[in-house]
């Protein structure tokens, strides 16, 4: 079992819709979770961090964490073509080691 799993996609949504990106992790002791956006040929850009169960909202982005189910998700409201990118889920294992998923490719169709 991979430590952090994401559906590779592509996930296609129409412009203006809600995009839902999901991630599961295997280390039950993980406490810190991050979502990064990566455009083709560029480096990852931090979108959200979440540390407690529940929802965390920042503009059009909402991160959701459920530690009991070892599940973290990212919702993008009012999706725009500029949101088309690969979204990486990252989990901190232990005290320092970031573990990244393989990423989900999102396509927002105009």
Partner 1 sequence: DAGVTQSPTHLIKTRGQQVTLRCSPISGHKSVSWYQQVLGQGPQFIFQYYEKEERGRGNFPDRFSARQFPNYSSELNVNALLLGDSALYLCASSLGVRSAYEQYFGPGTRLTVT
Which residues bind to partner 1, rule: CB under 8 A? 4, 31-32, 34, 36, 42-46, 49, 51, 88, 90, 92, 94-103
* CA–CA distance, 99 with 24 (Å, rounded to integer): 12
The encoded tokens of residue 89 equal 């889920």
In sequence order, what are the beta bridge partners of 68? Answer: none
- The DSSP output letter for 78 is S
* CA–CA distance, 34 with 73 (Å, rounded to integer): 10
* Residue closer to partner 1, measured from CB, 16 or 94: 94
* CA–CA distance, 14 with 96 (Å, rounded to integer): 38
Q: Min. distance of Cβ 15 from partner 1 in angstroms?
A: 26
Q: Min. distance of Cβ 2 from partner 1 in angstroms?
A: 10
* Residue closer to partner 1, measured from CB, 17 or 61: 61
* CA–CA distance, 68 with 53 (Å, rounded to integer): 9
* Residue closer to partner 1, measured from CB, 15 or 45: 45
* Residue closer to partner 1, measured from CB, 36 or 76: 36
Q: Min. distance of Cβ 92 from partner 1 in angstroms?
A: 5
């Amino acid at each position: 079992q991979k430590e952090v799993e994401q559906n590779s996609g592509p996930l296609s949504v129409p412009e203006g819709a809600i995009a839902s990106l999901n991630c599961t992790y295997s280390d039950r002791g993980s406490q810190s979770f991050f979502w990064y956006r990566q455009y083709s040929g560029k480096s990852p850009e931090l979108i959200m961090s979440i540390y407690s169960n529940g929802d965390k909202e920042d503009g059009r982005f909402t991160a959701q964490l459920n530690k009991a189910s070892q599940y973290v998700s990212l919702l993008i409201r009012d999706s725009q073509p500029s949101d088309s990118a690969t979204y990486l889920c990252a989990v901190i294992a232990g005290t320092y080691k970031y573990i990244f998923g393989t990423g989900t490719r999102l396509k927002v169709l105009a």
